Chains A and B, each alone.
Chain A
């Protein structure tokens, strides 16, 4: 988890953030930019209307090679990796024997290797998990010398297209090795803002020059972790450690869409991952609780940790993420409730500073995604 302040690591873009006037805070053991001088609201709006550049170099980047790499990775998750096409990326989850989520991650098939991106706070545990579980002929390399940038927003494609024209027509969740400013980068059309955009893995030593080149484009502004959080919350996307944890299953989390058909009970390779009985059982019978979107009435934000009660005052769940949604123009939240209360339109109360605040269960996402489907 978070290390003490004296041991904080920095990303290769630290000096650039400092020069850009970032305010820093510790996050997952890194000294990360939370916001820049224009502030979180303006950064959020800028990303939804133009393009934002995020430094996500704190995340773990790993490659797996070997004939059994895909099968080995599949054995750790309810996801189809064996049939993931070359040049395609997929959202995935490591599970534990109880069906709980150890981390959420991205897996990309690069033909000669698998490329895996994991959360910063989980990366050492994930790497240990992979090392102890993967077959002997599968080689794992942690890419410690690479930065990761996310360029997100409706102008992302036109901006990156100026530097690397082939990226403009790249499909959502497609990945390719691309040269940017003469440097070999790995570009995937993905992100975590609900907007169109890219994640760009870059050799660390070239990352500042490429970040500066992108920031020199009129549409692009640097965006900190503050707006990254409000953007992903409006997009209905989970933050590991906040909305997902080892005691939460993918079915409870509403991530059934991520569970590949091939790994389900009637699929080609059913089960065969930690917690398969729990997860397949919940797929068949449902789970006792569900993640839902929550729209607070009024203007007061309802933060993670707030208890949710029904109209008799009985606790039925809790908020996991909540705050002000700048694009929504009001408070937004998500949390877990007993399944009987998960229906859209259900009225609940959140307890905020001892007072009941009315909430309504609502459909996620709060803001329609703007992904590029080609």
Chain B
């Protein structure tokens, strides 16, 4: 069973047991435009909620991905270094950023489900 949640910072987290996989939403990649570089955290890094976890460079500008939930990074999507455009073409699939062991599951409270996130982005238009 997997469960996907969304944050107001336009990140998604797919919860797989005690692990989470994170990435940017389709809305975020559309706003950022063509992504040309992603800097990922080192495996083993301890992230606290709100820490800067990754840097995303689009043709336009640099932006950051913040940890929406704390935990230890267990795996990163190495394929983004050669093909960062996967974040644009497949943001919730091949464009995933990293996997981590969830530190405190209570930090997941307050994240949105897909319908709530759709309503949230619609309100931003």
Q: In the complex, which residues of chain B have a beta carbon less than 8 angstroms from the beta carbon of A39?
A: 33-34, 59
Q: Give Cα A230–Cα B33 distance, bound, in whole angstroms.
A: 14
Q: Verify if A303 is at the interface (C-beta below 8 Å from B).
A: yes
Q: In the complex, which residues of chain A have a beta carbon less than 8 angstroms from the beta carbon of B34?
A: 39-42
Q: Verify if A373 is at the interface (C-beta below 8 Å from B).
A: no
Q: In the complex, which residues of chain B have a beta carbon less than 8 angstroms from the beta carbon of A324?
A: 36-37, 57, 59
A40-B60 CB under 8 A given contacts A35-B33, A226-B33, A301-B37 = yes
Q: In the complex, which residues of chain A have a beta carbon less than 8 angstroms from the beta carbon of B60?
A: 34, 40, 226
Q: Verify if A353 is at the interface (C-beta below 8 Å from B).
A: yes
Q: In the complex, which residues of chain A have a beta carbon less than 8 angstroms from the beta carbon of B84?
A: 299
Q: In the complex, which residues of chain A have a beta carbon less than 8 angstroms from the beta carbon of B36?
A: 41, 299, 301, 324
* Binary per-residue interface labels of chain A (346-357) against chain B in the complex, 1 for a CB within 8 Å, 0 otherwise: 000000010000
Q: Verify if B62 is at the interface (C-beta below 8 Å from A).
A: yes
Q: In the complex, which residues of chain A have a beta carbon less than 8 angstroms from the beta carbon of B55?
A: 353
Closest to B39 in A: A300
Q: In the complex, which residues of chain A have a beta carbon less than 8 angstroms from the beta carbon of B62?
A: 301, 303
Q: Give Cα A230–Cα B59 distance, bound, in whole angstroms.
A: 8
Q: In the complex, which residues of chain B have a beta carbon less than 8 angstroms from the beta carbon of A303?
A: 61-62
Q: Verify if B81 is at the interface (C-beta below 8 Å from A).
A: yes
* B37 x A300 contact (CB < 8 A): yes
Smallest CB separation, B109 vs chain A (Å): 31
* B57 x A301 contact (CB < 8 A): yes
Q: Give Cα A41–Cα B36 distance, bound, in whole angstroms.
A: 10
Instruction: Name B86-113 residues within 8 Å CB distance of A.
Output: none
Q: Give Cα A42–Cα B88 distance, bound, in whole angstroms.
A: 13
Q: In the complex, which residues of chain B have a beta carbon less than 8 angstroms from the beta carbon of A153?
A: none
Smallest CB separation, B57 vs chain A (Å): 5
Closest to B64 in A: A353
* A326 x B59 contact (CB < 8 A): yes
* B37 x A226 contact (CB < 8 A): no
Q: Give Cα A324–Cα B59 distance, bound, in whole angstroms.
A: 6
* Binary per-residue interface labels of chain B (27-44) against chain A in the complex, 1 for a CB within 8 Å, 0 otherwise: 000000110110100000
Closest to A34 in B: B60
Q: In the complex, which residues of chain B have a beta carbon less than 8 angstroms from the beta carbon of A41?
A: 34, 36, 59
Q: Verify if A275 is at the interface (C-beta below 8 Å from B).
A: no
Central interface residue in B33, B34, B37, by most chain A CB within 10 Å: B34
Q: In the complex, which residues of chain B have a beta carbon less than 8 angstroms from the beta carbon of A300?
A: 37, 39, 57
Q: In the complex, which residues of chain B have a beta carbon less than 8 angstroms from the beta carbon of A301?
A: 36-37, 57, 62
Smallest CB separation, B122 vs chain A (Å): 18
* Binary per-residue interface labels of chain B (56-68) against chain A in the complex, 1 for a CB within 8 Å, 0 otherwise: 0101111000000
Closest to B81 in A: A299
Q: Give Cα A336–Cα B62 distance, bound, in whole angstroms.
A: 22
Q: Give Cα A193–Cα B121 distance, bound, in whole angstroms.
A: 36
Q: Give Cα A220–Cα B12 distance, bound, in whole angstroms.
A: 38
Q: In the complex, which residues of chain A have a beta carbon less than 8 angstroms from the beta carbon of B39?
A: 300
Q: Give Cα A226–Cα B61 distance, bound, in whole angstroms.
A: 10
Q: Verify if A323 is at the interface (C-beta below 8 Å from B).
A: yes
* A40 x B59 contact (CB < 8 A): yes
Central interface residue in B57, B59, B61, B62, by most chain A CB within 10 Å: B59
Smallest CB separation, B55 vs chain A (Å): 7
Closest to B52 in A: A353
Q: Give Cα A226–Cα B36 distance, bound, in whole angstroms.
A: 14
Q: Give Cα A331–Cα B58 distance, bound, in whole angstroms.
A: 11
Central interface residue in A35, A44, A323, by most chain B CB within 10 Å: A323
Q: In the complex, which residues of chain B have a beta carbon less than 8 angstroms from the beta carbon of A326?
A: 59
Give me 26 A-to-B residue pairs in the complex whose CB atoms sit less than 8 angstroms apart, sorted by A's number: A34-B60, A35-B33, A39-B59, A40-B33, A40-B60, A42-B34, A226-B33, A226-B59, A226-B60, A299-B36, A299-B37, A299-B84, A300-B37, A300-B39, A301-B36, A301-B57, A301-B62, A303-B61, A303-B62, A323-B59, A324-B36, A324-B37, A324-B57, A324-B59, A326-B59, A331-B37
List the interface of chain B (C-beta within 8 A of A). 33-34, 36-37, 39, 55, 57, 59-62, 81, 84
Which 3 pairs between the two chains have the least Cβ-Cβ distance? A324-B36, A41-B34, A40-B59
Q: Contacts A300-B39, A301-B36 given; 19 further ones with Cβ under 8 A? A: A34-B60, A39-B33, A39-B34, A39-B59, A40-B60, A41-B36, A226-B33, A226-B59, A300-B37, A300-B57, A301-B57, A301-B62, A303-B61, A303-B62, A324-B37, A324-B57, A326-B59, A331-B37, A353-B55
